Structure 1
Amino acid sequence: MTIKLKLELASGQSLKGAPLELLSKGVPIARALVDERGHAVFDAKPGAAELAVRVDRGILKTI
């Protein structure tokens, strides 16, 4: 199963290269990197479960 998303920050900062994890029941089941347009694509096994996405916020820089 392919899951596509687009991420946008209200601040206008880019998330290019940000590592993301797709979680099922709090456990990572797939990983992706954000591209230059803010898109990320996960490949995961099909199934019925609540999903969440975790962003490594440590990559964000403060000005």
Structure 2
Amino acid sequence: MTIKLKLELASGQSMKGAPLELLSKGLPIARAVVDERGNVAFNTRPGAIELAVRVDRSILRTD
């Protein structure tokens, strides 16, 4: 199953290249990267579960 999202920040900044995780019960079940238009698609198995999305901070720079 594919879950598609469009992300828009109120500030107008681009999220291009942002790594995201799809979570189920707090655990990552899929990962994806935001494209230049703010679109992201997660590929995962179908099922009736509660989902959340977060930025995968493990690969972001913290300079």
User: What TM-score results when the alignment is normalised by the length of structure 2?
Assistant: 0.87
Alignment-derived partner of residue 47 in structure 1: 47
Which digits, 9 at most, give the CA deviation of each residue in 1:10-60, with x for residues without a partner? Answer: 00000000000000000000000000000000000111110000024685x
Displaced runs of 4 or more, over 6 A: none
Alignment-derived partner of residue 32 in structure 1: 32
Letter in 1 for 2:18: A
Q: Distance in 2 between matches of 1:2 and 1:41?
A: 6
What percentage of aligned pairs have identical amino acids? 80
Q: Distance in 2 between matches of 1:46 and 1:6?
A: 20
Q: Cα RMSD between the aligned structures?
A: 1.8
User: What TM-score results when the alignment is normalised by the length of structure 1?
Assistant: 0.87
Letter in 2 for 1:38: G
